[in-house]
Amino acid sequence: MKVAIICPMEEEIGYYKEHLGLTTSEVVGPTEIWTASYEGHDLIVARCGIGKVNAAIATTLVAQRQPDLIINTGSAGAVSPDRQIGDIIIGEATMYHDADARAFGYELGQVPTMPARYKAPENLIQGFLDAYHETELTATPGLILTGDQFIADVDKVSSLYQTFRGAQCAEMEGAAVAQVANQFGIDCIVIRAISDTAQQDANVIFDEFVVTAGQNAAKVTLSYLKHLN
């Protein structure tokens, strides 16, 4: 199977570089792309950069290589008060929290003519849950929010949690990756590890734990690929 893995930041892609022996680096605009083989799969690994536009550019470039599956991994800030630093969120669905076309009859978070939520296939969700059981990490399926905002305000986090039922975390790329994958008809799932919470000093905590969060998300992904036929 041909599998694409997209990560926003260098800190989040480091685990893949260390464990996959990535080769054939290619740079197209803001996107850096490597290839590798792992457990019988052909991998495309891309660093997209931060934010929705960078994520969409990278996913479009990757989609043109016709992968069977796109996995977006990295870090995120907790939205649910139950989530702790290091927890894994398996994206049952992703959606934007900063899109608002309700004046035209769309749902809050829905880009006009696009789905309100980008749902991952059930087999992918279950596969990642099974992979989690082989690790020491805490994994929870749920909704992942995306927006071009780093959220470090307790009141903002509380508002997101109350507005978007089931929201577990917020980040800046996942729904954009999922939207492009949807447009190309490619299966997609977003996996995020919690790097910070608004209850603490989020910008300081993020700097301290982003590498660990990226590693945790990557560990689950590689564990999943071992069992993927």
Question: Please, what sign has the CA dihedral across residues 52, 165, 191, 226?
Answer: negative
Task: List C-alpha distances in Å: 52 to 12, 55, 155, 171.
Answer: 16, 5, 23, 10
pTM of the model: 0.94
Report pLDDT for 205: 63
Residue 83: which of 1, 144, 22 has the closest Cα? 144
Rounded CA gap, 168 and 84, in Å?
A: 10
Residue 74: which of 32, 96, 45 has the closest Cα? 45
Q: Residue 217 belongs to what H/E stretch?
A: helix 202-226
Task: Give the pair of three-digit tokens for residue 112.
Answer: 């006009």
Q: Which single residue is written with the structure tokens 């990295």?
A: 74
How far the first Cα of the chain sits from its last, in Å, is 7
Name the active-site residue from 11, 12, 92, 173. 12
Q: Residue 13 belongs to what H/E stretch?
A: helix 10-20
Rounded to a whole number of angstroms, the CA Rg of the chain reads: 16
- Tens of pLDDT, residue by residue over 159-177, are 999 999 999 999 999 999 9
Confidence of residue 45 (pLDDT cuts 50, 70, 90): very high
Name the active-site residue from 11, 92, 173, 196. 196
Neighbour count for residue 199 (Cβ, 10 Å):
11
3-state secondary structure of 168: strand
Identify whether 12 is a catalytic site residue.
yes
For the chain, the average pLDDT equals 91
Identify whether 196 is a catalytic site residue.
yes
- pLDDT higher for 206 or 45? 45
Confidence of residue 2 (pLDDT cuts 50, 70, 90): very high
Q: Does domain 2-227 have CATH number 3.40.50.1580?
A: yes
